[in-house]
Structure 1
């Protein structure tokens, strides 16, 4: 069953963020994932969306693939490049395939 990882974070552009994106992209591909949206500015159909917050959506073949990616040394290396992840939200949800 497909699993989606949804990240919400403040938009930033810096050398460390660019390095994170590069390493994260490699780690996602290595674990069978793909980006459906990356750094997208969502439009709120209901409620409010915080200004300056962006969304990334990843798809993995299963929840197990997504959880292995998140716990992987490759993604840990990507996370280690960022000093500003405390305010980020990262969610996982399974599709109803």
Structure 2
């Protein structure tokens, strides 16, 4: 099952360190089969507010995502970003093929009925 690393970044400050981080991050992803699926798009806010920027990276599974984040290669460049851009980063599992939210609702109803 695929897994994703999601970063919600605030107040990016473009400078030489950030440019170096951007130039080097792809090489840290390749050994873990990671690929960018979203990188800082313009968003249309439909509900609530959305300060900042969004980055999503896909991996084959959670183990690969965690291994990438903890890898010496990524940890070496991480301070180049965190020194200038604050935000939150999470790793989470994707959905299996054929996911149907109505089945999830039925399971939750059955659980609530007890």
TM-score normalised per structure 2: 0.75
Write the distance in 1 (CA, Å) between the matches of 2:8 and 2:54. Answer: 5
Between Structure 1 and Structure 2, whose CA radius of gyration is higher? 2
Which of structures 1 and 2 has the larger relative contact order (alpha carbons within 8 angstroms, sep 6+)? 1
Richer in helix (by share): 2
Partner of 2:22: 21
Moved runs in structure 1, 4+ residues, more than 3 A? Answer: none
CA RMSD of aligned residues (A): 1.4
Q: Give the count of matched residue pairs.
A: 94
Richer in strand (by share): 1
Write the distance in 2 (CA, Å) between the matches of 1:47 and 1:80. Answer: 30
Q: Which runs of 5+ in 1 are unaligned?
A: none
Partner of 2:55: 56
